[in-house]
Amino acid sequence: MGAVSLTNIVKRFGSFTAVHRMSMDIPEGSFVTLLGPSGCGKTTTLRMIAGLIDPTEGEITIKGQQVNDVPIHKRNLGLVFQNYALFPHKTIAQNVAFGLKYRNLTKADMDRKVRDVLDLVQLPHVAERYPKQLSGGQQQRIALARAIVIEPDVLLLDEPLSALDANLREDMRVELKRIQQRIGITTVFVTHDQSEALAMSDRVVVMSDGRIEQIGTPEEVYNTPASEFVSRFLGISNILDATCTELTADGLSLELPVFGRITVPKDRAPHVEGPGPAKLVIRAEKLLLADSSQAMEGRLALDGVVEAVVYQGQAARYFVRIGDRQLQAINMINERPFQEGETVSVRFRPRDCAALPGASA
Amino acid sequence: MSVEARERRQPWILLSPALTAIGLLLFVPLAFIVVYSFWLRTASGADQVGFYLDNWNEALTDPFYRDILFSTLRIAAITTAACAVLGYPAAYFIARSDGNKALLLLLLMLPFWISYIIRTMSWINILGVSGAVNWVLLTLGLTSEPVQMLYNEPTVILGLVHFLLPFMVLNVYVALEGIDVSLEDAACSLGSTRWQAFREVTLPLSLPGLAAGGLLCFVLSAGTYITPLILGGPTDAMYANLVFEAIITQLNWPLGSALSLMLLAVLGTLVLIYNHYLGMGQLMKGLG
């Protein structure tokens, strides 16, 4: 049994069901991310673990103990909010020491713990300041320090980085992960940002409409999406209707218009059970555009026309027409990006593709 | 004209109607009152123009005036405390309600649609000899004679609380609205109970609103004369009643002027002390 486990959790608000019969186990010491678009139930799930809202049905256990009826202040959790929620009328030291007051410590122990945790978040010099005097990133570190200084059983982070600007957010990802690994705390992280989820997590729980779409390592959810939702939500994918004709030891044979027959490795299509309607998933960055003259081994090549180009600096995003389909490709720019209207050779390796079951709708 | 000069002039142009109104309707009359307070009313009833300190001497030294000043401040203080105790929970309820806050605030403002005097007089129909409470007592046989509950200091305070409670609720509400709800959640996650979280976090953060509401209630109740006139007995006069008495009844404008300036000075000092400790900004926020 994990550090936190949810069993058949249902949360209804009136007639609206925010979370549908959800079950998951969060292993001790792991960093688990609940990822999904807004309204998918990820924050509701976090708030149920925290004890801020009660599940309508189901059981929540923390370290093997059922906590459904344990009030939040007795759950021993560290909670970090999107807006930091630092107490504006208390100094940083008082903010950090807040939770220690309820834990029967001597004054000396409290002071030492506050100092240690401020060192850990690399802000030892701000103890006497007030939250307003700190930058957003510093406030975020203090919120984290306040949550972990009480040595909680689980650390719960509700979109903690989304209020920071882009560069700082990248730095804080690294910082947060460093601190989490250093103290080895079980962490549940809620975000709608796929790159955060992929960069930081041991396991990603992709959610949509109050249901779990897939649980897996970042590579698993990225490379082997369990559903069309997952493949669309993580990165940019081209999803094409196909027919699975054969399941062999080599892999899965798919028949598509224009593309012809493509064999996808079996481990990239674990959810396809046999011949029938299926979907071919090609990541935008696996689709390479090239001049027709250049030769490339092991790749399928199709002729296409560039219809639009979005310049992104080191890369470019292309919208390419192949037959009656428009596909997206993201390629590093080599000397110059392809231009609108240019005829290009679109190439990809079948082993980079994934397949999903699906009715050809 | 240069752009800078135009930009410097612009706020003054926009402010001028308001400044003119304040000047003509507040500062000029106030100057008249100051001048009046040094005149002298003669036995014949005519005012003698000049510079006499008699009115000020009377206002400052007469124990009758001094006692009424103290009892006025006491009534204002009790009223303010009662408003705080009754108003805070109401404001908290409105600020934290999931339902229709606009409707709750409208209900709070509803009494302002009825004249303050009528609202004050409504207590006569409730507590008077032939009022609702006495009717119930007589009908239930709990008393054989109607009980006189009106015309004493408690009913004056009751009337003032009735009048001033919405001001307190609004000020506290504005302060509570500005406090992030997740602060209490954060406190609870760190181990404090809901009540401890309220005491440690929400209450201290809402104190400026409570103080602003308190100041407003105190100043308004210390300056009232209608409530004691309607709900007070002969001995329950407040300081503003003295001014009313001097100016309207005795037509002694010089003495009335000195008395009103006394009250202005006392309340003004209290506002300045308040401003020193809490700042006027919070009061403005509460009113706006």
Q: Which helix (H) or strand (E) holds A307?
A: strand A300-311
Identify the residue whose tokens are 């926009």: B14
By Cβ distance, the residue of A72, A89, A101 closest to B189 is A72
Cα–Cα distance, B1 to B7 (Å, whole number): 10
Q: Do B185 and A87 touch (CB under 8 A)?
A: no
Average pLDDT over residues A74-94: 94
SS3 assignment, position B52: coil
Judging contacts by C-beta atoms under 8 Å, the chain A residues touching residue B188 are 52, 71-73
pLDDT at res. A295? 65
- Does residue B144 register a pLDDT over 80? yes
Q: B92 lies in which domain range?
A: 59-287
- The answer to whether B164 touches A76, Cβ cutoff 8 Å, is no
Average pLDDT over residues B107-122: 91
Cα–Cα distance, A352 to A327 (Å, whole number): 16
User: Which residue from A154, A118, A147, A150 is spatially nearest to A134, judged by alpha carbons?
Assistant: A118
- Does residue B30 register a pLDDT over 50? yes
SS3 assignment, position A35: strand
- Total tally of structural domains belonging to chain B: 1
How high is the mean pLDDT of chain A?
Answer: 91
B177 assigned to some structural domain: yes
Q: Would you call A50 an interface residue with chain B, using a CB distance cutoff of 8 Å?
A: yes
pLDDT at res. A252? 86
Cα–Cα distance, A158 to A153 (Å, whole number): 16
Q: Give the CATH number of the domain where residue B243 resides.
A: 1.10.3720.10
Residue A169 token pair:
């957010």
- Does residue A235 register a pLDDT over 70? yes
Average pLDDT over residues A188-195: 94
Average pLDDT over residues A47-56: 94
Average pLDDT over residues B96-122: 90
Residue B282 binned pLDDT confidence (cut-offs 50, 70, 90): low
Could you tell me how many helices (H) and strands (E) chain A has, helices first? 8, 20
Chain A residue with Cα closest to B193: A73
Closest chain B C-alpha to A72 CA, distance in angstroms: 6
A16-48 per-position pLDDT tens digit: 999 999 999 999 999 999 999 998 999 999 999
Identify the residue whose tokens are 């308004």: B220
Judging contacts by C-beta atoms under 8 Å, the chain A residues touching residue B193 are 71, 73
Judging contacts by C-beta atoms under 8 Å, the chain A residues touching residue B191 are 73-74, 76, 99, 101-103, 150
Judging contacts by C-beta atoms under 8 Å, the chain B residues touching residue A79 are 185-186, 189
Residue A288 token pair:
């390479």
CATH code of domain A4-223 = 3.40.50.300
Cα–Cα distance, A237 to A244 (Å, whole number): 19
Report which DSSP code applies to A131. Answer: G
Q: Would you call A79 an interface residue with chain B, using a CB distance cutoff of 8 Å?
A: yes
Q: Which residues pair with A9 in a beta bridge?
A: A22
Q: Would you call A132 an interface residue with chain B, using a CB distance cutoff of 8 Å?
A: no
pTM: 0.82
pLDDT at res. A84? 92
Judging contacts by C-beta atoms under 8 Å, the chain B residues touching residue A81 are 182, 185-186
SS3 assignment, position B20: helix
Residue B287 binned pLDDT confidence (cut-offs 50, 70, 90): very low
Q: Do B205 and A52 touch (CB under 8 A)?
A: no
| A135, amino acid identity | S
CB count in 10 Å sphere of residue A170: 15
**Superfamily name with CATH number, domain A236-357:** Nucleic acid-binding proteins (2.40.50.140)
Q: What residues have CB less than 8 Å from A216, skipping those under 6 apart?
A: A203, A204, A224, A226
User: CA distances (Å), A60 to each of A78, A156, A252, A328, in order?
Assistant: 17, 14, 40, 42
User: CA distances (Å), A219 to each of A58, A198, A232, A234, in order?
Assistant: 30, 8, 15, 11
- Does residue B44 register a pLDDT over 90? no
Q: Do A85 and B200 touch (CB under 8 A)?
A: no
Cα–Cα distance, B175 to B27 (Å, whole number): 32
By Cβ distance, the residue of A81, A88, A150 closest to B182 is A81
Judging contacts by C-beta atoms under 8 Å, the chain A residues touching residue B196 are 102
- Does residue B135 register a pLDDT over 70? yes
> B164 versus A247: which is more confidently predicted?
B164
The answer for A359, left when phi > 0, alpha when psi is -120 to 50, beta otherwise, is beta
User: Which residue from A204, A238, A203 is spatially nearest to A354, judged by alpha carbons?
Assistant: A238
Report which DSSP code applies to A2. Answer: -
Residue A360 binned pLDDT confidence (cut-offs 50, 70, 90): very low
Residue B8 token pair:
């410097």
Average pLDDT over residues A132-143: 93
Q: What residues have CB less than 8 Å from B282, skipping those under 6 apart?
A: B175, B208, B209, B211, B212
- Does residue B275 register a pLDDT over 90? no
Q: Exposure string (b/e) for A319-348, b if CB count within 10 Å is 16 or more?
A: bbebeeeebbbbbeeeeebbeeeeebbbbb
Residue A1 binned pLDDT confidence (cut-offs 50, 70, 90): low
- Does residue A336 register a pLDDT over 80? yes
- Does residue B288 register a pLDDT over 50? no
Tell how far CA A154 is from the center of its chain. Answer: 18
Cα–Cα distance, B269 to B257 (Å, whole number): 18
pLDDT at res. B286? 45
pLDDT at res. A361? 42
Residue A344 token pair:
């290009």
Q: Which of B179, B189, B194 to mutate to test the interface with A (most CBs of A within 10 A)?
A: B189
Share of chain A above pLDDT 90, in %: 66
Average pLDDT over residues A204-223: 94
Q: Which helix (H) or strand (E) holds A203?
A: strand A203-208
Share of chain A above pLDDT 70, in %: 98
pLDDT at res. A359? 65
pLDDT at res. A164? 85
Domain boundaries, chain A: 4-223, 236-357
Cα–Cα distance, A113 to A99 (Å, whole number): 11
Q: Which helix (H) or strand (E) holds B255?
A: helix B253-278
B207-260 per-position pLDDT tens digit: 989 998 999 999 999 999 999 999 998 888 899 999 999 999 998 999 999 999
pLDDT at res. A300? 82
How high is the mean pLDDT of chain B?
Answer: 90
Cα–Cα distance, A248 to A272 (Å, whole number): 12
Cα–Cα distance, A155 to A212 (Å, whole number): 21
Q: Would you call B181 an interface residue with chain A, using a CB distance cutoff of 8 Å?
A: no
pLDDT at res. A149? 95
Residue count (chain A): 361
Q: Which of A81, A139, A144 to mutate to test the interface with B (most CBs of B within 10 A)?
A: A81
